[in-house]
Chain A
Amino acid sequence: MAIVSTAKKSVAVNPLKQSQPLGAALAFLGLKGVMPLFHGSQGCTAFAKVMLVRHFREAIPLSTTAMTEVSTILGGEDNVEQAILTLVEKSKPEIIGLCTTGLTETRGDDMEGILKNIRKRHPELYDLPIVFASTPDFRGALQDGFAAAVESIVSTLPQAGETRSDQVTVLVSPAFTPGDIQEIKDIIADFNLVPVVVPDSSASLDGHLDDSPSAVTGGGTTLAELRELGSSVYTLAFGESMRRSAEILEERFSIPYEVFPQLMGLDAVDEFLQGLSDVSGLPVPQRYRRQRRQLQDAMLDTHFYFGRKRASLAMEPDLLWSTANFLQSMGVEIHAAVTTTKSPLLEKLPVETVTIGDLEDLETLAVGSDLLIANSHAAGASHRLNLPLYRMGFPIFDRIGNGQRCLVGYRGTTQFLFDLGNLLLHVEEGRSREQVDHWRSGNLDKV
């Protein structure tokens, strides 16, 4: 049991957290033909866009209602209306993903009312789904905004339909990268099941060259697929923050669900594959049996370097859960854990204390550990503490390949062991030498 502590200070130094609207945008970007729209000042969109572009190295569709001082005082209805009409004319989106920001939530724009009025005035928008998520910047973090958007998607778009015995809905939290999602899809498909992933960033943010550039997302979950989610036989939710969305689908269509809080490590993947085998009635395919043996071998090869190492982690709750548990299962001690927002998982983490805080907290708490795992912003702390940094989470702007990186399943877990093992191997060499150097100089107390 972990104690959840909140840093007692008035200033956040080197923030770890990103805002809710950014998370919502990330969720919307996993839908096909989407244009996310922030109801806020133009800077809200510009900052989020720059971050997403730097992380994925892709053109990112993202737009703004461009609120000004005057429209903030008068109310944002005209801006929302004009933005939607302009987007429909210029970008022809199939879906608009609308979310609020700190500015418009402070002002208190009645979004439901505004959308109703706009629909009344513009019957031509009848066919255009506008999915709305309330995402004030002054509450929650990226993971919460992402969850809010997915909850809104599954609350509004799916329709009831005849159950298809091979279709499963797959909900994925932002702890999973496009590469992870591709792996999950491939595994499920190998059991002769048809996965409909929401949101499916493996088709939009994976980094691939299309025939022609597009003003909206070129891939992702299609509107038709979203409409037919009511026909799925089962919901698989990856990441605890997807639980509420799975519940919504159960409430609406009586679809049973299972939440997988992690898909890294032998036990977690075993459980997942056995589940798929049970649902599909098919045996686990040969390639995964092989991959499992490869993972076990990698665990043998790497455990020398993981044992007794102390890792300090700073990441969002879902990713923290999966990473901390897996590392612990490899013999690593979690020296410090810092996260961004509340989650029912935090208390169950295999650590003494988990701090809802920033990278300054990480830097303080990480003293004495062997390794940092956090986003690219921790590079400064890594430098100052002279500790290696393994980059995970968002944003990662000083490493390439974030779209296709895969750290889930047997294959992904093996990759993670190799990546981290290489870093730790280096640490180990230095440490052993340091120890015997102490002995050599007569200091035999150093063990």
Chain B
Amino acid sequence: MTVEWMLSNISVNTHPFHLLTFTLLPTPYPLRTAMKLTQGKINELLSESACEHNHKKEGKGKNKSCTQVAQPGAAQGGCAFDGAMIALVPITDAAHLVHGPIACAGNSWGSRGSLSSGPMLYKMGFTTDLTENDVIFGGEKRLYKAIQEVHQRYQPAAIFVYSTCVTALIGDDLDAVCHKAAEKLGTPVIPVNSPGFIGSKNLGNRVSGESILEHVIGSQEPEYTTPYDINLIGEYNIAGEMWGVLPLFEKLGIRVLAKITGDARYQEVCHAHRAKLNVMICSKALINVGRKMEEKYGIPYIEESFYGVEDMNHCLRSIAAKLGDPVLQAKVETLIEEETEKLNRALEPYRQRLRGKRVVLNTGGVKSWSIISAAKDLGMQVMATSTKKSTAEDKARIKELLGTEGVMLEKGNAQELLRVIAQTKADMLIAGGRNQYTALKARIPFLDINQERHHPYAGYVGMIEMARELDEALHSPIWSQIRKPAPWEVPGVDIPDLDDQ
């Protein structure tokens, strides 16, 4: 009996309680299967054809990291629900309502680092906070009322409603409730079928992508369009770093029609279908949005990065080339020349202080080579990097950047990282916040480059900020004191040998 067989025959709606579920919505909304998001759809998202992970290699699908099942006892990452929220919460004038027990919203609300230039509604936590009664009798009625209350009290531009493991399991019909509420309230209410147990954060990103493709993008028309309209997809304005890049587009006469979703307003996402080009930033996360917009609206997409001089230059050149305007291309070259010169001057003192420093990188996917090129640009030596989430193409590029001596880390757990740092005599670790205390507790300087960080690293200006932060982390006067044994401790017994762990 295969798992596929199981799933084709059993919907998630197998819980005995579902028989008791409130039939809040009689005709024309009969109780449907719990999730509009069928297993077929999930499989399609997992094997997303535009994702490099899934390109065939030697006749076999090579989709390792997307379909990887989390290992009990070893798994570390977030769930699909987390991923869905990461991708949509940056829509600042919307309310994000979590339909589930307190853990899902209570343990996570308000913690995401994306900044807003205006509305702050996205920073508020809304949840149905299910009780035992709701679990037994169904949560649809409570959800409907919750949507009403949020609408009445906060007048959001739209309400995104996220399902969770428990509400999927008890069979609440998210789509029907949202549909009914939208009709009744006359405001967009968008279902996001994101129970955590369907998979990883990455899958959750794509699930949220499906929701905006189906319910948001193309639902309104922009006032006007220009031949230079682009969308930024997968850029979440972490620590406000997008604001270091937008002025460059403005200077070039490129209009960002929709940001999906950093510092976005709901309406601009509705307009996204009128752009001339989609620029995928954290490309693997919302790749399905890029591919499907190409199919549906004929908008081509390119995969780019804002990190490091090389990549920033590449991004601007690609956009100009794709928009196909020679004047724009010339403008881009001038801008790159100006910015590079300015940047080189600003970076000069840091380059001197960072030259030859040895770093170990632990980060996912596209960022692994993107940050390597940024580090090399500062004259630093990348001793090792993780390739856990990297595609074959990423890896080839990493190999080229690292040279023959570089270590490619397949596993990125704490012990392995410390071992490699010791082995390569690295001066610091650059990784996600999760590894911050792994490094610090081992008395190793650390720089955070993931979602949770508070410093903007994108674009040319971000490069300066990154150099500053690297310099500060490496040259803090604390390190010799942290590593110093107490005068009364046996001489020679210094910090522990990392090889022993």
**Chain B binds chain A:** yes
With the chains together, A151 CA to B149 CA distance in Å?
A: 39
A42 with B73: CB separation less than 8 A: no
* Chain A, Cβ-Cβ closest to B198: A69
Q: How far is the CB of B364 from chain A (nearest CB, A)?
A: 15
Residues 461-500 (chain B) with a chain A CB within 8 angstroms: 482, 495-496, 500
Given contacts A42-B196, A53-B437, A209-B482, whether A64 and B103 have CB atoms under 8 Å apart is no
With the chains together, A13 CA to B148 CA distance in Å?
A: 13
B132 with A82: CB separation less than 8 A: no
With the chains together, A41 CA to B167 CA distance in Å?
A: 14
B437 with A15: CB separation less than 8 A: no
With the chains together, A10 CA to B72 CA distance in Å?
A: 35
* Chain B, Cβ-Cβ closest to A359: B125
With the chains together, A59 CA to B77 CA distance in Å?
A: 15
* Chain A, Cβ-Cβ closest to B142: A10
Residues 27-58 (chain A) with a chain B CB within 8 angstroms: 37, 40-48, 50-51, 53-54, 57-58
A51 with B107: CB separation less than 8 A: yes
Is residue B268 contacting chain A, with contact meaning CB distance below 8 A? no
Say which size band chain B's interface belongs to: 35 or more
* Chain B, Cβ-Cβ closest to A87: B73
* Chain B, Cβ-Cβ closest to A51: B107
A213 with B438: CB separation less than 8 A: yes
Q: How far is the CB of A325 from chain B (nearest CB, A)?
A: 27
With the chains together, A46 CA to B77 CA distance in Å?
A: 6
Q: How far is the CB of B238 from chain A (nearest CB, A)?
A: 15
With the chains together, A211 CA to B441 CA distance in Å?
A: 9
Is residue A203 contacting chain B, with contact meaning CB distance below 8 A? no
**Cβ-neighbour of B126 out of A13, A53, A64, A211 (below 8 A):** A13
Given contacts A46-B76, A86-B72, whether A57 and B437 have CB atoms under 8 Å apart is yes
B82 with A9: CB separation less than 8 A: no
Q: How far is the CB of A399 from chain B (nearest CB, A)?
A: 15
Given contacts A46-B76, A213-B501, whether A137 and B149 have CB atoms under 8 Å apart is no
> Which B residues are in CB contact (< 8 Å) with A192?
none
With the chains together, A22 CA to B110 CA distance in Å?
A: 17
A-side interface residues, number (CB < 8 Å):
69
With the chains together, A48 CA to B79 CA distance in Å?
A: 12
Given contacts A59-B437, A67-B197, A73-B14, whether A19 and B103 have CB atoms under 8 Å apart is yes
Q: How far is the CB of B459 from chain A (nearest CB, A)?
A: 27
Q: How far is the CB of B77 from chain A (nearest CB, A)?
A: 6
Is residue B61 contacting chain A, with contact meaning CB distance below 8 A? no
Given contacts A66-B75, A86-B73, whether A212 and B125 have CB atoms under 8 Å apart is no
B73 with A83: CB separation less than 8 A: yes
A47 with B10: CB separation less than 8 A: no
B441 with A83: CB separation less than 8 A: no
Is residue A143 contacting chain B, with contact meaning CB distance below 8 A? no
> Which A residues are in CB contact (< 8 Å) with B252?
none
With the chains together, A395 CA to B417 CA distance in Å?
A: 29
With the chains together, A214 CA to B92 CA distance in Å?
A: 40
Residues 112-148 (chain B) with a chain A CB within 8 angstroms: 120, 123-132, 134-135, 142-143, 145-146, 148
A64 with B415: CB separation less than 8 A: no
> Which A residues are in CB contact (< 8 Å) with B145?
10-11
* Chain B, Cβ-Cβ closest to A15: B106
* Chain A, Cβ-Cβ closest to B493: A211
**Cβ-neighbour of A79 out of B72, B107, B196, B414 (below 8 A):** B72
Is residue B101 contacting chain A, with contact meaning CB distance below 8 A? yes
Given contacts A19-B106, A73-B14, whether A82 and B77 have CB atoms under 8 Å apart is no
Is residue B109 contacting chain A, with contact meaning CB distance below 8 A? yes
Residue among B125, B148, B437 having the largest count of chain A Cβ atoms under 10 Å: B125
* Chain B, Cβ-Cβ closest to A58: B437
**Cβ-neighbour of A102 out of B12, B15, B103, B433 (below 8 A):** B103
Is residue A90 contacting chain B, with contact meaning CB distance below 8 A? yes
Given contacts A64-B75, A107-B169, A377-B110, whether A12 and B129 have CB atoms under 8 Å apart is yes
With the chains together, A53 CA to B441 CA distance in Å?
A: 13
Is residue A106 contacting chain B, with contact meaning CB distance below 8 A? yes
> Which B residues are in CB contact (< 8 Å) with A51?
107-108, 111
* Chain B, Cβ-Cβ closest to A139: B132
Q: How far is the CB of A108 from chain B (nearest CB, A)?
A: 9
B149 with A10: CB separation less than 8 A: yes
With the chains together, A187 CA to B105 CA distance in Å?
A: 39
24 intermolecular pairs with C-beta atoms under 8 Å apart: A12-B106, A13-B125, A13-B153, A17-B102, A41-B165, A47-B103, A47-B104, A48-B107, A50-B107, A53-B437, A54-B111, A59-B438, A64-B72, A65-B73, A69-B197, A70-B3, A90-B73, A102-B100, A102-B135, A137-B166, A138-B131, A138-B166, A211-B495, A377-B109
Q: What 10 A-B pairs have minimum CB-CB distances, sorted nearest first?
A: A43-B79, A86-B73, A83-B73, A10-B145, A137-B101, A83-B72, A19-B103, A11-B146, A59-B437, A66-B70
Residues of A within 8 A of B (CB): 9-15, 17-19, 21-22, 37, 40-48, 50-51, 53-54, 57-59, 63-70, 72-74, 78-80, 82-87, 90, 101-103, 106-107, 136-139, 141, 209-213, 215, 377, 380, 397
**Known interface pairs A46-B76, A102-B165; 9 further A-B residue pairs with C-beta atoms within 8 A, sorted by A's residue number:** A12-B102, A15-B127, A42-B79, A43-B80, A47-B82, A47-B108, A65-B72, A72-B169, A106-B166
